Amino acid sequence: METPERWEQISEIAATAIDLPAGEREAYLAASCAGDTELREQVMRLVSAGQASFVRVDQPLVRGDLLRRALSEGRGLVEGEVLGKRYRIVRHIGAGGMGDVYEAWDLSLESRVALKTVRPEFARDEAIVERFKREVQLARQVTHENVCRVYDLGSMARGEDGVEVFCLTMELIEGQTLAELMRSHGPWTYEEALPVLEQVCLGLKAAHQAGVIHRDLKPANIMLVRREDAEKTWHVVVTDFGLAHSNQADASSWTQKMRPGTPAYMAPEQLEGKAVGPEADLYALGGVMYEMATGRAPWQGDSPLEVAFARLKEPVKAPSQWRPGVDGRWERIMLRLLEKEPGDRYVSAEAVLRDLESGPRRRMPLRKLWRRVDWRWAAVAGFVVLTACGVLYWDRVRSKSSPEALRWLRQGEEAIENRSWLTAKDLLDRAQAASPRNVKVLARLAQTHLELDQTQRAQQVLLSALGESGQEPADAEFREALRAGLVKDWPAATAAMERRVKLVPQAEQSRARFDLIWLLEKSGKVKDARGQLEALLKAEPGHAGANLGLGILLYRDGKVEAGEAALRKAEESYRLLGNAEGLATVAVERTEAVVGKDRGGAAFALIETTEKQVRDSLSARSPAGLYSLDARLKVLKAQTYSYQAKHELALATARSAFESGSASLIGGGYIKGLLALARGWIQTEHFPEAIEVLMMARDHAARQECTSCLAMANYYHGYLLSLQQNCAAASEKLQLAAAQFDGLEDRGNQFRARSAEAACYRRAADYDRAEKMMTEIERDAAPFAVPDIKSTLMRERYAMAAQRGDRVGSEALLVQLEEEHRRIQATTLWHQDLIDHSHQRLLSGRLTEARESLNRAAAQLGPDEARLKQHAAMVDALIDCDMGRAPAAQAKLDAASKTYQLTAKQMMLDQSEMACEISIEGSGPDRIAKYCEPIWTKMDTHPELGFLRILGGYSRAHYYIGRREPTEALRWVDIAYGQATKDQHKQNELYAALVGFEAAAMGTDAQSKTLWRQRAVSARQQLEEKLGQEAFQVFWRRATYSGRWANLERTK
Amino acid sequence: MDSIPVTRLLGELGRGDETSEKVLLDAIYRELHRLAQRAMRGERDNHTLQPSALVNEAYMRMKSQLRHEWQNRGHFYAVAARMMRQILIDHARTRNTQKRGTGQRMEALRDTDGQFSCNPEEILGIHEALQRLAVMSERQAQIVELRFFAGLSVEETAVAMEISEKTVKRDWSVARAWLAMELGKA
């Protein structure tokens, strides 16, 4: 097997050599291999193998024509196939929105025709077919050289299987569409355009006289055929009269699923669904001219929706603004054609033609100021092209709403108020299926998609709502609010929603206000939303949805008690109403809040209870809602597991959260699952995996526009970097996350992110900076009363004191911390404090006290606090070490790692530190290596981590002492000693010196022995001074120090 | 190649509603597997798997069930080749296991018109050799994949991979020579 680079080299030479005549090969190889005999041999072997006359791969496993055939059959009709015993398919020409277009041979009339198929999904609908037929009947009456002739229409049997295909035959025109030509042509001059436009006008005139309106005139429907005359002029044919299918290749077409007409050219009255006359075609003609002259459509926008709205609201810009050289007369013609009011346009195609040919005869009427279109009031029928095949479908049929649809709509609206968005979507989907064109249903559906971050879908639905009839002013405002919301124009959206509140009848007041609140919250105006909720509740104290919303907002803002009170009220209402889903939602919200501050056994039990409640209450009703709530709970569960050091369970749960989340396709739900997964990886110190998952989460978050997910991903990433002591990169990420959380008014996470930054500085021993940062956080957090920020900071301060070896300070802080955790009922954290406290006592030498308090703490631990149990067992063993009971300590270490089935490698860093420390005492090098290995690896990969240099340094020294290699031992202890002096950590300095002496004593270098003895003596003296006599005496009870000191005394 | 990322490949195809397309293609893929299994159990073709029938069915479905055009012909071929490779390999494997289990003579893959036959061991051998080749040159491996598993011509391969015909020819001659050596070893 070669490396890719080497193989490329071999391939290059061999490919040429194989093709060369045998006689020339030698010389070529000699030249190209340039003395590399191995290369030459390899190439030779390949060349000779290549001479084989047959290699198995020469004969394909499948024949290529199968694929080609499949590809063409897939298109539908096959070349040579005869349809309805009359049309033989010659070739496939293209695909359109409604079906495909073929060239066919009419066997009975012996002529070539174009044959258009209509997709079964359209052909099945009798109403469509009927209408289609009528249109074609009309279109057939137009006989004009500039209009494409329509011949025949109907279902035709396909040869073999008798399947019917609905199709339409028409004149076959071989040429280019104007759309194609425009792409390669660039802007047209008046003179160039005139011959084309004249013929389009003639075609339109003929059609209009026959009573046929095109309705979808656009460049793709104008065919140009080169005439074989001297000037090679164009013959122009307008196609698809009255058919209004959309061409897929058209840039302005909608997504694949919903094919609209071509909003870029549609007249305003057509968009509004009013009756359409010849003027609509003239408007489209104006659009075509505009694009020919300027190279751009009269209205632009990011989406058909925007384009459509733009036309209704804004006047068109004069073509000369885009292209200064545009012929003035032509420009006036265009602008007149593009008048918003049909009556202000030309009266006929013929009139346009006259003006085109001889310049405007009459003065143009003064262009009125473009009246701001009050499209909200427009009675609308059209534009539902989206839902089917074009104009055919959007007759002036009024939408009739079935009673079921109205019932589902009502239930859907209720679900929205109760934040059960997925259930709402389910219900509204059902409503839409029953009444596809009910404006209210469509608007609500759009709102739901918007909430679920399915913006594309929201746009589609909204666009179809635009064309529907029966719009009340309030509905139009709602739609406007959604439209503005879609493009994140929050002020406009809010304004529309506010107008709507004033427009709706009394009975719908509270719902309308609720929608306003939804919008405020969505746009990040949480405070306003809360104010509105409170006002709403003043009028209707029992409003369940409002209480739920208020509860959530309060909780999020750190106002736990008020939040809980609101949730309880919501719960009460839901119970009265018998709304199980509402109850489940409250339970999930509460669980989220509780677990947010306590990850202990109680939290876990709560999650399990809620999980059960969710399953019981929802299984019968809405699977989507179930999944979304379930996913949220699983995320919480994963977080809790990871706090309990059940990392594998955490990972597995996070995975299923992701799956549950993606099954429900809730906006952001599965991303939160991914984030939980990332967190699991981070906490198990699987950093590359974590980064990969985080990248994925960020990618999805960006795509789903889930800001909170994005902020979370940045937070985790920064946290990860801070664990790796990459403070510069970490702070960049964490600051970004904090700013994003700030924008979301998510105070808890905002301050957590900043605390993580402070922790990074602290771990890097940049204490001043860490302290400054914490003071800032304290100051900024003060007005918000975030539940756990106080304890987070306290814990950080404690960690700092402990890291600096400030026993008194750290103990004092621990006492406060214990109190705070007990107060906020953060049980697991409180237990952790108790064990830490015992550890601190041990470090001060209060061994008996340490053991007693440890026993008390251990008695508190719940059955699922495995990580803490292990932690306690380690501290217990450490106490034994200092009591001089090394064998007992070793036995406890082994037992602990066995009981919790953790080898040193799987332990979290703090635990492997303790394990390493224990293993040093009274055991051989093998044991030391077994338990200290992870510390050593980390020490090597993170030389900047001071505390690892100390522990790693002296544990390695112990290892080499055990192996009787004093030189190596001294080398390592020197590192530990150096770091301790640098940190001015007297205790560590003394310990390292004692170990140093032990190593030196083993060697023969008397000078080194003296040096280390002096260091030990001096460190002891300084520590004594620092602690004071009394405390020092207590400290000196620690056998790990005093035992080694005695050793030093003995060898005097 | 236990998990050729067919779904990924297909996912990349999507214009429009990607999710539904993926779901659809997954469904087609499962359906093909079912067909192939049925064929193998002898319910239909008396223990003879007919690759062309299978391919035909595969592409018919892929094409007819997708409402819109493939991005381009080349992309269609690339996906088809990958899908066929996976299906045929899966079947060759199953057959291999069956053979070992029952001691029966191994069934050859044979097209009804007798144009070719290929036994499962041979296919697996080629497949595994291609995996090794892919480590050295992914492009060469893909060229062989398109030509052998999908029957593409040099020109079609060039179009499918968006590379020149000359490159296809050169790579093919080297890959072919290498495969001759590799397959000869066994």
* Residue range A936-981, pLDDT digits in tens: 988 887 777 777 889 999 999 999 999 999 999 999 999 999 999 9
Looking at the complex, report in whole angstroms how far the Cα of residue B104 sits from the nearest Cα belonging to chain A. Answer: 24
pLDDT at A257 over 50: no
Q: How much is the average pLDDT of A41-50?
A: 89
> Contacts of residue B58 in chain A, CB cutoff 8 Å?
70
Looking at the complex, report in whole angstroms how far the Cα of residue A17 sits from the nearest Cα belonging to chain B. Answer: 10
Q: Which of B146, B178, B185 best probes binding to A when mutated, by most A CB atoms within 10 angstroms?
A: B178
Q: How much is the average pLDDT of B119-145?
A: 88
Q: Are A666 and A699 in contact (CB under 8 A)?
A: no
A49–B52 CB contact, under 8 Å: no
> Contacts of residue A63 in chain B, CB cutoff 8 Å?
52, 115, 151
| Angle (deg, nearest 10), helices A866-882 and A847-860 | 160
pLDDT in tens, A175-198: 888 888 888 777 888 888 888 999
User: CA A611 to CA A636: how far, in whole Å?
Assistant: 11
| Range among A233-247, A427-441, A1013-1027 with highest mean pLDDT value | A1013-1027
The pLDDT value recorded for residue A303 is 60
Q: CA angle, corner A593, sides to A590 and A596, nearest 5?
A: 145
The pLDDT value recorded for residue A957 is 94
Mean pLDDT across chain A: 79
Picking from A8, A60, A256, the nearest residue to B68 by CB comes out as: A256
B173–A19 CB contact, under 8 Å: yes
The amino acid that residue A407 corresponds to is R
> Contacts of residue A14 in chain B, CB cutoff 8 Å?
173-174, 177
The pLDDT value recorded for residue B68 is 42
User: CA A1048 to CA A738: how far, in whole Å?
Assistant: 53
Picking from B16, B137, B170, the nearest residue to A257 by CB comes out as: B16
With CA atoms as reference, the chain A residue closest to B134 would be: A4
Alpha helices by DSSP H, listed for A51-105, are 64-74
pLDDT range class, residue A172, cuts 50, 70, 90: confident
pLDDT in tens, B55-79: 555 555 555 544 444 445 566 667 6
Flag whether B111 is in a domain. no
Q: Which two tokens stand for residue A917?
A: 């420390």
Residue indicated by tokens 């007798």: B114
**Which of A223-232, A304-313, A513-522, B153-162 shows the lowest mean pLDDT across its residues?**
A304-313
Percent of chain A with pLDDT over 90: 19
- According to CATH, the topology of domain A942-1052 is 1.25.40
* DSSP conformation letters of A946-992: HHHHHHHHHHHHHHHHHTT-HHHHHHHHHHHHHHHHHHT-HHHHHHH
Q: What number of CA atoms fall less than 13 Å from residue A68's CA on the CB side?
A: 9
The pLDDT value recorded for residue A214 is 82
Residue A755 CB partners (closer than 8 Å, separation 6+): A774, A777, A789, A792, A793, A796
Looking at the complex, report in whole angstroms how far the Cα of residue B132 sits from the nearest Cα belonging to chain A. Answer: 8
User: CA B159 to CA B152: how far, in whole Å?
Assistant: 10
pLDDT range class, residue A398, cuts 50, 70, 90: very low
Its ipTM equals 0.77
A61–B171 CB contact, under 8 Å: no
> Contacts of residue A15 in chain B, CB cutoff 8 Å?
170-171, 173-174
Q: How much is the average pLDDT of A781-807?
A: 82
The whole domain housing B61 covers 6-105+116-185
The pLDDT value recorded for residue B69 is 45
**Interchain CB contact of B23 with A (< 8 Å):** no
Percent of chain A with pLDDT over 70: 81
Q: How much is the average pLDDT of A103-107?
A: 87
pLDDT range class, residue A992, cuts 50, 70, 90: very high
Q: Which two tokens stand for residue A842?
A: 């041990």
Distance from chain centroid for Cα A865? 34
**Interchain CB contact of B123 with A (< 8 Å):** yes
Q: Are A448 and A424 in contact (CB under 8 A)?
A: yes
**Which of A45-54, A64-73, A699-708, A919-928 shows the lowest mean pLDDT across its residues?**
A64-73
**Which of A113-117, A657-661, B161-165 shows the lowest mean pLDDT across its residues?**
A657-661
Q: Which two tokens stand for residue A571?
A: 């719960």
pLDDT at A48 over 80: yes
Picking from B51, B118, B136, the nearest residue to A7 by CB comes out as: B136
Chains A and B form CB pairs within 8 A to the count of 148
With CA atoms as reference, the chain A residue closest to B85 would be: A61
The amino acid that residue B183 corresponds to is L
> Contacts of residue A699 in chain B, CB cutoff 8 Å?
none
**Interchain CB contact of B56 with A (< 8 Å):** yes
With CA atoms as reference, the chain A residue closest to B118 would be: A61
Q: CA angle, corner A259, sides to A255 and A260, nearest 5?
A: 110
**Is the model more confident about B186 or about B121?**
B121
Is residue A216 annotated as a catalytic residue, yes or no? yes
Looking at the complex, report in whole angstroms how far the Cα of residue B96 sits from the nearest Cα belonging to chain A. Answer: 18
pLDDT range class, residue A201, cuts 50, 70, 90: very high
**Is the model more confident about A473 or about A8?**
A8
Q: How much is the average pLDDT of A617-621?
A: 54
**Which of A303-312, A507-516, A746-755 shows the lowest mean pLDDT across its residues?**
A303-312
- Choose the CATH number for A93-358 among 3.30.720.110, 1.10.730.10, 3.40.47.10, 1.10.510.10: 1.10.510.10
User: CA A594 to CA A875: how far, in whole Å?
Assistant: 29
User: CA A487 to CA A936: how far, in whole Å?
Assistant: 54
The amino acid that residue A90 corresponds to is V
pLDDT at A835 over 80: yes
The pLDDT value recorded for residue B118 is 56
pLDDT at A622 over 80: no
> Contacts of residue B174 in chain A, CB cutoff 8 Å?
10-11, 14-15, 18, 46, 50
User: CA A515 to CA A790: how far, in whole Å?
Assistant: 36
The pLDDT value recorded for residue A245 is 36
B1 CB-contact burial (10 Å; exposed 0-12 / middle 13-18 / buried 19+): middle
Q: Are A701 and A686 in contact (CB under 8 A)?
A: no
Looking at the complex, report in whole angstroms how far the Cα of residue B147 sits from the nearest Cα belonging to chain A. Answer: 6
What is the total residue count of chain B? 186
With CA atoms as reference, the chain B residue closest to A78 would be: B60
pLDDT range class, residue A995, cuts 50, 70, 90: very high
**Interchain CB contact of B27 with A (< 8 Å):** no
Looking at the complex, report in whole angstroms how far the Cα of residue A424 sits from the nearest Cα belonging to chain B. Answer: 21
* DSSP conformation letters of B82-138: HHHHHHHHHHHHHHHHHHHHH-PPPPPEE-TT-S-EE-HHHHHHHHHHHHHHHHH-H
The pLDDT value recorded for residue A1011 is 92
The pLDDT value recorded for residue A669 is 60
Q: Which residues of A touch B (CB under 8 A)?
A: 1-4, 7-8, 10-11, 14-16, 18-19, 45-47, 49-50, 52, 55-67, 69-71, 73-76, 95, 119, 248, 255-257
Domain count, chain B: 1
Catalytic residue (choose from A216, A250, A557, A880): A216
Is residue A129 within a helix (H) or strand (E), and if so which, with residue range?
A: helix A126-140
